[in-house]
Structure 1
């Protein structure tokens, strides 16, 4: 049985998140690894894939698992507290951590709220929320404003809050803080460094969600949470644990990805003003622009699979129990898929929607249609409302995450408002 990542150790040869500048530009490391060893098995016992074809293949492979209990890799338990070890041994019942048939059963219940047709009904409300948030931060002055706290976070948070029909028992600022802590569990290094904090935050959010579920049992309505409660009470569809874990997932995943899509997307456009001007001038570009922004700087950089049976990747045999990391960010800039301009931002790219930022296969992101719609309504609206929008600093600080890539803040000057 292999040890997992230890503090200060690279994840793979050629991929070192501790190297200076990694969070500003992880893509140079992905490129170097893709050019030298696109299917790499590190000394830590994990495989790291950086080509689009290989990543796409593994993400769709039936003989793989997302349940970490199936992995032969283990953290160095001597470094963890008893509470962290106990939490790590608990099997997640969310769709993010379960395999078919349980995954299929649970996803079927949740997915009704996230079909493209259902999401399209939210369009007017999302546009209204975007304008409300921009009105709130625009005082007509010259001082910089932060588009993360002002728009990118509150927009998707409010949308998922309303979709779930959550009672007002959760403070947005508190949830943001808990979310920032809990999602560190997705990062192999941060999960080890901050294990106790993650456990404490998870327990706190779990308690808040259980309180909200208890309240909703007596106040059922036409919303997602009520529908899940009714399914759970039917007795043959959803257990108490599955209900809690999936509501937590919907809350976290329902806003984290979109925060980074909006933040990363606006940053990319502000650093490529010719592309921003092109988008301002042509509303017909809106849909493809979001696909290209997702490809260019993916909000989710990696996705993992565990081999349930041996399989081949580009001539390499992956043994049972081995952990395979698919580099979504690396794959999305693979010249083998996107041609010689793969490293460039081009909002007119014909195959931009071939990115795998939302994964692929049975675990394709449930909220992809919602995230796309939120991005499509927020990003072009900001650019067209503020034609002189500019970064207030060149020193943008990243969130220090390997998996969920985003900026901590996006300070900008709004400039004049379009007539």
Structure 2
């Protein structure tokens, strides 16, 4: 595929996903991109950047795009190289997950998974989530502070998912490192070192889950793995690989949003003391506040899809074989969709806060209700039981841009 001559990212826009200053605050660059047009070619990653909310929302639902192209084309037909053999078993693990499948495989697997991961499953978790949040927050408060990331933000969603899956407490410390290594491959132009870590983690995590699935087949319980084994429709069931990929996706996608929204949300509240005071004064507005945190500083900044048939965005034809990168962070600050979008306002009504943080269309995040439950439990516990928390220092941002978060968040009382 030849490189398009125009329109490319404006030289003065400041879009540089490998720059620490950009990662710390990408929003001025997004504003420049939106002002300059609706589609921009970015040569370093050979992607089309899509910065406007309405375009992102429409393309997420457009069946002319896909997370994969292999349901229609071979790698050669699509003008792409097959993943390196050295990237196995990451390629198989990732390729069989719901996030990277298209119909009909996606439709079939999501239908079966939905039989196990039901709204009632999430609802029934409410007491567990609230108990775990209270234990973690109380411990941090009793110690007079510490790192909110490692003490509350990370362990809460991992513990919740581990409870759902029935993973023994002694093994739960394995989950977060495996997840961190695998999601490193979702960054732009990952290094070979990142690939090696992802491959090792994929191999170890898959082997662990296969043993767990085998144990549940002979001795089923009330956990989600047992429910996935039992899920069937018209005689169809999930294969072992589909179950393994689904479980890994539930862990990876199911906790990254919670982890980063918890830490970055608190950082945002610290920087806007009037908004923090508003939540203390009216805790019933927490639902609105959580949605505003998800919108204002988006945990997943970019979502990529392949162009399966030529599309047109703002008069620019994007040909088949291209990759588009939808900028969720930019879409969620688009003044064409949100009033005063650069203002953080915890009273912005949740019902009208139509951010794209959890995606849209068939790939809308399956774990969104669980993430919202965890965030409400975590923030609610802090507001009710541990008021007066404040930051110790300005945190450093992790180098990753696609999944964006801080290295730590030291707090005290």
Alpha-carbon distance between aligned partners in 2 of 1:113 and 1:87, rounded to the nearest angstrom: 25
* 1:134 and 2:133 matched: no
Give distance in 1, aligned partners of 2:314 and 2:191.
30
Deviations 1:263-303 (A, max 9, x none): 11111111111101101111220111111000001111111
Question: Which secondary structure does the structure 2 equivalent of 1:190 belong to?
Answer: coil
| Deviation at residue 170 of structure 1 after TM alignment | 2.6
User: Cα offset for 1:358?
Assistant: 0.1
1:367 aligns with 2:367: yes
Once the two structures are superposed, residues 184-232 of structure 1 have per-residue CA deviations (whole angstroms, 9 ceiling, x without a partner) of 1111223555222211121111111112212222220122110212237
Displacement after TM superposition at 1:151 (Å): 0.9
Q: How many residues are aligned here?
A: 400
Q: Could you tell me which residue of structure 2 aligns to residue 400 of structure 1? A: 399
Q: TM-score if structure 1 supplies the norm length? A: 0.88
CA deviation after TM superposition for structure 1 residue 161, in Å:
1.2
Please say if 1:290 is aligned against 2:290. yes
Name stretches of at least 5 consecutive residues in structure 1 with no aligned partner: 4-9
| 1:193–1:32 Cα change, 3 Å | farther
CA distance in 2, matches of 1:89, 1:350: 41
Aligned counterparts of 1:194 and 1:2: Cα–Cα separation in 2: 28
1:344 paired residue number: 343
User: What is the CA distance between 1:138 and its match in structure 2?
Assistant: 2.9
CA 1:382 to 1:240, structure 2 compared with 1: closer, same or farther past 3 Å? Answer: same
Q: How far apart are residue 134 of structure 1 and its match?
A: 1.6
Q: In structure 2, what is the equivalent of residue 106 of structure 1?
A: 109
The aligned residue for residue 159 of structure 2 is 158
- Partners of 1:119 and 1:236 lie apart in 2 by 24
Q: Cα distance 1:100–1:12, how it changes in 2: closer, same or farther (>3 A)?
A: farther
Once residues 170 and 295 of structure 1 are traced to their aligned partners in structure 2, the CA distance between those partners, rounded to angstroms, is 34
Seen in structure 2, the aligned counterparts of structure 1 residues 191 and 103 have a Cα distance that, compared at 3 Å, is farther
1:7 maps to what in 2?
none
1:38 Cα deviation from its structure 2 partner:
3.0
Which consecutive residues of structure 2, in runs of 5 or more, have no partner in the other structure? none
- 1:378-411 deviation per Cα after TM superposition (whole angstroms, max 9, x unaligned): 11321332332100102x0222221111122111
Shift of 1:84: 2.6
Which secondary structure does the structure 1 equivalent of 2:404 belong to? Answer: coil
Map 1:140-289 to 2 at 5 A.
140-141=143-144, 144-168=145-169, 170-172=171-173, 174-190=174-190, 194-231=194-231, 236-289=236-289
For the pair 1:26 / 2:29, whether they are aligned, the reply is no
1:308 paired to 2:308: yes
Greater Cα shift, 82-91 or 314-323: 82-91
- Shift of the alpha carbon at 1:163? 1.4
**How far did 1:343 drift?**
0.9
* Contact kept? 2:89, 2:203, Cα under 8 Å: no
